[in-house]
Structure 1
Amino acid sequence: MKHVLTIAGSDSGGGAGIQADLKTFSALGVYGMSVITAITAQNTLGVQAVEDVSPELVEAQLTSIFSDIRVDAVKIGMVSNQDTIQVIARQLEKYSLPIVLDPVMVAKGGHALLQPNAEQALLEQLLPLATLVTPNIPEIERMIGGTVHSLADMKQAAVKLTERRAGAVLLKGGHLEGQDATDLLYTDERYVVFEQERIASRHTHGTGCTLSAAIAGNLALGHSLEDSIRYAKRYVTEAIRHGFALGHGIGPTHHFHELWRDTHVTTHP
């Protein structure tokens, strides 16, 4: 079995972050491990509070895993402060691994998840280590200091981000209008467009975390970068299609839609 490590924050509501990543790994048949960078008080209505794990404990978690367990791929999600980013970069630069960086900056409800002084550290220290970086449109606009309104803009933005030493860029186009959800991969000076039908659902909490985790899992399984993205995008589309209401706000995607398909459990006294 392949082993995949997620370095991210905890979502107490279970729809995103570490919880979404571990569910995704399990659904893909890889063994999930975690380094928790922050703890959030969060539900379907939004993020109410965030507390960072100390950089020392983040480093201890990384050392504990790498000293004992083989790691086949890494996914990086929420890394909210500069000191934590420095610790992660210092540890990961020792190894040659597929690394998928999801630059989590703002929660779906608008709560900032990356401190302002950490943005530059993420660009300078983690971006060059990443095999793939997976920003959405608001994130890449912050990273390059521009605006994106079309596929042509997406292509220019992806190129600009690679100029900042990103290995490859998967720019998620979900914030654009259109019948399809169009993502753009820029790698080796060429573009690859991925299109899946846009699912009309409000239950999309954790889609970014889930996509990047699925890509990392597929890379660990030995798939090419393009196939890893293609398979991950199909997986997330179906997870959204089977998303469900939870609480009073935006529900989660269904990470185990394949396992639970057409299964009806009835309990009896």
Structure 2
Amino acid sequence: MAFILVMSLHGLQSMITELLPEFSIGGLGVSIGPFWFVAMSVVLLFRSFWACLAIPVGGIVFGEILIGDFSALGAVEGLIVVTLSWFFVMSLITDPKNVKQIAALGFLAKAMEETAAWFIDVGKFYIGVEELEAISWLPETVWATEGIGALLQIIIAGVVFGAIPTLFLYPRLRGKIEPLLGMSPLEGRDGPMFTRTSLKRLIAWVALIPVAFAFETLSETSGGLITFTPEFVETYGQAFLFVPIAIAAVISFGLVAYRQRKVDGLQD
């Protein structure tokens, strides 16, 4: 249930932000979304691997498959980087009632995602499978141009539309969402934030970034292996984005309503 809820909510927020225009800062294109505070607030309630996996799966299902722009190999990068970034951060939570800690760790997860994506994009530039902005006689400047773009995304998605709204949304959801799914709110733990479990998950994150890079490179050079590309948005226009938005909304709010009726029935 937690997997379905996180997946559909993230898909919903991702597709809503697809309707918003990009803007540029110093010539660098920056997108607003997705509104990460929804995923941050909900996934941090559960702290399970499956809740973390639901974030990229939501993006794939609603942001790629349902709009007809899916590449199996291209999806692997997000599955690895996003899932492991959040899974590592989950191991650092010691006090789930500490809203500032929760918001800061949500920001850290987004920062790890963007950092990994930065290295992967630059790596693709160096092996010649992607063209990026760089001074022709000094290709090393690609590190700066892509790094600035990643930093802007971290600030906008991780802070403005991430950690700050999470400070207000998370405490209002904690203790209310979990019972609907038949769960009790998770409690904190004693000891340091960084534990042996944290170290193992961080090592896995570092070790699997090259794997994500390899799959992304194969996606650029081999055509994606398994693809589904009817490109509905190009065919029917931006209005088609309301299709995955409607489906995600029905699944997420329908699930909450269904579970609420179940809980009310048990109480009666």
TM-score range normalised by the length of the shorter chain: under 0.3
For normalisation by structure 1, the TM-score amounts to 0.26
For normalisation by structure 2, the TM-score amounts to 0.26
Larger radius of gyration: 2
Structure number with greater CO (CA < 8 Å, separation at least 6) is 2
Which one has a larger percent helix, Structure 1 or Structure 2? 2
